[in-house]
Structure formats: C-alpha cells, structure tokens
Chains A and B, each alone.
Chain A
Amino acid sequence: MMLGAESLQKIDREIAKYPSDQKQSAVMAALRIAQMEKGWLSGETMNFVAAYLGMEPIAVYEVASFYNMYNLAPVGRYKITLCTNLPCALSGANDVARYLQEKLGIGFNETTADGKYTLREGECFGACGEAPLFLVNNVRMCGGLTVAEIDKILAELE
C-alpha cells in the first residue's frame, strides 16, 4: 500500500535528520506520517514503511505496537484521547469522561456507529496545568474543558 507523494516527501525530510546509515531512526516519524494519511496502520502500510526504510517488517510492528499513539485498527474520523491521570482527575477529568461517554453514547476504546468518534483514555500529556484536557487525532490539544467547551469543540468537528 503505497503512500502519497506528500507523505513520502515528509518521510524523506525525517530520514535526512539522521546519519545516512541510520534510516531506521525515521521509523517513528514515518509511521506517524503514514497514519496521518491513512487514518490507521494496516499490515500493508507497515510493510511499505519497512521496505521504504530497509527494515525487517517485524521491527516496524514492534515500534507500532509499543507506542500508544499509533492506531493498529481503524478508528473514527475523530479520535478523542482524554487524560484521566491523577492531576487531571483532581481537576475534573472523570466528570469530563462521564459527559463524553454519555454525549457520544460510547465507552472508552469504542467508536460511534456512524464512524465519527473514537474515545480513548490517555496517559499524561505533560500539560496538567490546563487540566482537564483531551487530544483530537493526536494533534490538537484542548484544555480547560467544561461542558460548554466540549459542546463547542464537538459542534465544530463537522
């Protein structure tokens, strides 16, 4: 499963950061870029990344399954990852979790029937000062969450 030209260009830029005999160093970035294009990492996509970087496929699977932010199965168009760790919990993350579950009608690690949302529980994002907070599709951090704020964010996600 070939990646698009834009993704390949981005991966090449990552490869250039490392010594010429250490292309494997770009595997985390390559998987991230592939996931951004495809939505998740299928076996075919990972095999492509392996071939592109000259790695054994198993070495790529190991990386993809070790780091939490890779999607090893299809997810909704919007993956919402809520931090529920202690500092966030002290600032209302469990209330946010209940509200999100009710509003979306799904539990953690589930996807809505229309394929729009997936809800995940995350570990510390390193932004506890803005608790409670969630990440949308690994890239957009939304902090200081209140019911009104959550409604607004969800309404904006077409």
Chain B
Amino acid sequence: MEQILLKGLDGDRTWHLADYVKRDGYAALRKIFSEKMTPEQVIDQVKKSALRGRGGAGFPTGLKWSFMPKNYDGDKYLVCNTDEGEPGTFKDRDIMRFNPHQLIEGMIIAAYAMGIKVGYNYIHGEIWETYTRAEEALEEARAAGFLGENILGSGFSFQLHNHLGYGAYICGEETALLESIEGKKGQPRFKPPFPASFGLYGKPTTINNTETFASVPWIILHGGEKYLELGRPNNGGTKLFSVSGHVNRPGNYEVPLGTPFAKLLEMAGGMRGGKLKACIPGGSSMPVLPGEIMMDLDMDYDSIAKAGSYLGSGAVIIMNDTVCMVKALQRLSYFYFEESCGQCTPCREGTGWLYRVVDRIENGHGKNEDLDLLLGMTDNIQGRTICALGDAAAMPVRSFVKHFRDEFQYHIDHKKCLVPSYA
C-alpha cells in the first residue's frame, strides 16, 4: 500500500533534514526549478490530483489556490493550519513530529504557485515539544537554502515562521486563526470577504491544513494523475485516519481514500472490550453513526456523506457497547459550550443550553419534552452563526438523538442509564 505522509519514518531522526532528503525530500522543489515549471503548471497538477482539504471541509485544494489574485502588487500570505484540536484528531501532530520538512516543502511549493513571499504555520498550543521541533526544522531548512532569499538560486524567495496557539479550539477556524496571528482574540470573521481577498493583515491569504500541504511534494514529483489513482475519483490520494477510543491499537493509519472501514478497524487492532456500537467518522463535530452502518462504509468523502455523516478531519472515534450515548454526548456538548467564542448569540447561549439539557438527562432530571427541545435548539443554532462552531455543536446532538433516541428516552423515563458500565 503506497504511503505518502508516513512512508519510511523509522528511527528517531526522521524529522531531520538529512533524513528527509534521503526519502526524496525537496526533490519536488528541485524538479520545479530544474524543469522550470510555471506556477500555473504546479496548480494544474494539484487540480488533477483531486486533493481535497484535509482539515475537515474537503474543499478542492487546486481550486482554492487558483482563487489567489495573480497580478497583485502588495503582500500576500500563506498560512498552514496545524491548530489541531478537534476531539479525536491527532494526525497533524505526527506529521510535524516525524516529518516536518515535508510540510515545509509543501508550503514552499504552494508559495511558489501563488507568488507568496511569507508564510506562517499556526501550531496547536498544547503540543509544545512539537513546536520546538518545528522551530528547529525551520532553522535547518534556512541553513540549507530551502527557505529565505533566492531559494536554490531560482530567484524565488520565501520566509516561513511558526506561530504557537495557546488553548482555543476556535482558532482552528481559518479566520479566527488569522485574527489570532494578528494578536487578537480568536473570533471568526464574517465571510465574504474570503481570505483569498481579505486575509492576514487584510492581504490576500491562502490557508490549508498541514496534511494538505504535506501531500503536495509527492503530487509534484509523481504527477497529479498518479496521486488521484491512489484514491477514488473526486477523492484523490491517501488519507491519515486518527483512530481513537475502544480499539486495541489507537493511532494514525495512512490508507488510500476509499478503504473499507472494516479494514481500518482491523489495522487499529480491532475492537477493545466489546462490540462496535457507534463511530464518529470525522472528528467530534461530525454526526455519529451506528456501528452496523459503519461496517458497510468505505472511508472516503462521498461514501461517508451518503451515509449521513462527514469524513471531516479523518478522526475516527470508536465506541463499544459499554458506552452510554447520553454521557458521551454530555461530554461533547460541554466541549462546544466551553469553546464557543461568544460572538454569536445562537452559539454562545445555545451551546450552554444544549449542554445543560443533556446534562440533566444524564443526571436523571430529564423531562419528556427535552428531546424535542434539543432538536428544536439545534434548528435555531445550525446555519445561524458566523462560523461552523454552531453547526459543530448541533450535529452531534442531532445525530446522537436520531440514532440512539431509545437510550435518551430510557434515561428520562427511568432516571438511570441503559448501559451501566461506562466510567
């Protein structure tokens, strides 16, 4: 099985530049310069690859790059979103820990394709050790002439810096992230204007996820079509899946898009302590699906969407039959309440209200009308806020109640849990 992101990562020196070069590192960048590929040709290859944004939204990367103004006189910025804090997601940390130069090379190529001279990589605040390593990797790249003025004698210049977050989930939202780099509270901006016209410091900006950028060198080196062939039509390439929860070997698994869920589960060592009850296939914000539906699904954007959820960030949270779905939702609802930035009323007030109602059901104080109340609230939050955090808070509630309504009703009727053993 071809791997692109985690290939050949053996030993504890994989993150160093010398090791990366041995794995074909910076060969794509050299190819661009030696073959005198134009920015348009680079973007064309990315379009052909059908690479879709790996942060969660799945937007076509080549198309996003083509939105950047070409003949623009002032500064433009490139930003990488390594603010990985969606519960269940831990893939970008591994790219940064074990293979940071692949991200750096991907960003240099992207900057070249869009005529950008300065970039920032926004790193999740809680992964300090990864941040310090990323700082060292940048120093290595600068010393070797891959970053800075006149890269490899090409005449192209690009500076890249790391920016450390400090504990705010909302900064994974791209415009909140930009506000945060500007030294402000991370509150999302109203869109439009989109970052491609009004981004960092008000300048045209492109933001991609870590895994997205890190996929680019391979695409340039081997061609977009070859990347597409690794996955499925409209779902090109491989994807990192972060498998967590009730499996024997939680961890990151890189597989072609379209790999059956059953196979991924097997790779993660199979179920731990019980049968598969439910799975959140794309990070905590995505709708939960019952186990029997999951077992028939393939892991690609379109298959998961057809089943009523989303591939999201590729965070696969596995729950066995000892899990109380009310308690699981209670914890997730608390998370969105805690992390709402407070800007939009439906989200600020709604996330707290959702949490309080789920919490009272969990604690045996639920009322008969609570389930319809919860669904009504989600109607009044979803689609009525500046950013997607409102939707992210609503979708778990909606899907948990939809698929496991009996369990919620049991809590309300009997003031106790249908599934006794969940800690």
Q: Which residues of A line the B interface, CB within 8 A? A: 17-19, 22, 24-29, 31-32, 53, 55, 59, 62-63, 66-70, 84-87, 89-92, 94-95, 122-131, 135, 138-141
A89 to B319, CA, bound (A): 11
Total contacting residues, chain B, CB less than 8 A? 56
Name A128's contact: one of B90, B129, B166, B423 (CB within 8 Å).
Answer: B90
A25 to B178, CA, bound (A): 10
Cβ < 8 Å to A, chain B residues 375-423: 423
Q: Is the CB of B319 within 8 A of A90?
A: yes
Q: Is the CB of A129 within 8 A of B250?
A: yes
Q: Is the CB of A28 within 8 A of B126?
A: no
Q: Is the CB of B242 within 8 A of A128?
A: yes
Counting chain A CB atoms within 10 Å of each CB, which of B183, B201, B332 scores highest?
A: B183
Q: Tell yes or no: B180 within 8 A of A by CB.
A: yes
Q: Is the CB of A141 within 8 A of B335?
A: no
19 A-B Cβ contacts within 8 A?
A22-B201, A24-B182, A26-B183, A29-B164, A55-B183, A67-B166, A69-B166, A90-B244, A90-B319, A91-B244, A94-B423, A124-B284, A125-B85, A125-B126, A126-B90, A130-B250, A131-B250, A141-B128, A141-B129
Q: Is the CB of B92 within 8 A of A126?
A: yes
CB distance from A48 to the nearest CB of B (A): 16
A32 to B85, CA, bound (A): 19
A51 to B127, CA, bound (A): 29
A89 to B84, CA, bound (A): 19
A78 to B416, CA, bound (A): 38
Name B124's contact: one of A63, A89, A125 (CB within 8 Å).
Answer: A125
Given contacts A123-B339, A128-B87, A139-B129, 13 further A-B contacts (CB under 8 A): A22-B201, A67-B168, A68-B168, A70-B167, A86-B332, A90-B246, A123-B87, A123-B169, A123-B338, A127-B127, A128-B315, A131-B250, A141-B129
Instruction: Please name all residues of chain A whose beta carbon is closer than 8 Å to the beta carbon of B84 when the two chains form the complex.
Output: 126
A128 to B243, CA, bound (A): 8
Q: Is the CB of B185 within 8 A of A62?
A: yes
Return the chain A residue nearest B249 by Cβ: A129
Q: Tell yes or no: B205 within 8 A of A by CB.
A: no
Q: Is the CB of B166 within 8 A of A86?
A: no
Q: Tell yes or no: B251 within 8 A of A by CB.
A: yes
Q: Tell yes or no: B374 within 8 A of A by CB.
A: no
Return the chain A residue nearest B162 by Cβ: A17
Instruction: Please name all residues of chain B whose beta carbon is closer than 8 Å to the beta carbon of A31 when the two chains form the complex.
Output: 166
CB distance from A57 to the nearest CB of B (A): 14
Q: Is the CB of B93 within 8 A of A66?
A: no
A/B pair count, beta carbons within 8 Å: 160
Q: Tell yes or no: B252 within 8 A of A by CB.
A: yes
Return the chain A residue nearest B341 by Cβ: A66
A18 to B398, CA, bound (A): 42
Q: Tell me whether A63 and B423 are in contact in the complex, defined as CB-CB below 8 angstroms, given that A87-B245, A128-B244, A138-B128 are known contacts.
A: no
Return the chain B residue nearest A26 by Cβ: B183
Instruction: Please name all residues of chain A whose beta carbon is closer than 8 Å to the beta carbon of B335 when the two chains form the complex.
Output: 85-86, 123-124
Return the chain A residue nearest B273 by Cβ: A90
CB distance from A53 to the nearest CB of B (A): 8
Counting chain A CB atoms within 10 Å of each CB, which of B129, B166, B319 scores highest?
A: B166
Instruction: Please name all residues of chain B whose beta carbon is closer than 8 Å to the beta carbon of A140 when the two chains form the complex.
Output: 128-129
Q: Which 7 A-B pairs have the closest CB atoms?
A: A68-B167, A24-B183, A69-B167, A125-B126, A126-B84, A87-B244, A17-B161
Q: Tell yes or no: B282 within 8 A of A by CB.
A: no
Return the chain B residue nearest A97 by Cβ: B423
Name A86's contact: one of B75, B165, B284 (CB within 8 Å).
Answer: B284
CB distance from A46 to the nearest CB of B (A): 13
Q: Is the CB of A66 within 8 A of B186?
A: yes
Q: Is the CB of B252 within 8 A of A129?
A: yes
Name A85's contact: one of B87, B127, B184 (CB within 8 Å).
Answer: B87
Convert B226-249 into 0s and 1s, putting 1 for each residue whose CB lies closer than 8 angstroms to a CB of A. 000000000000000011111000
Convert B75-92 into 0s and 1s, putting 1 for each residue whose CB lies closer than 8 angstroms to a CB of A. 100000000111111101
Q: Is the CB of A126 within 8 A of B244?
A: no
Q: Is the CB of B423 within 8 A of A17?
A: no
Q: Is the CB of B89 within 8 A of A126?
A: yes
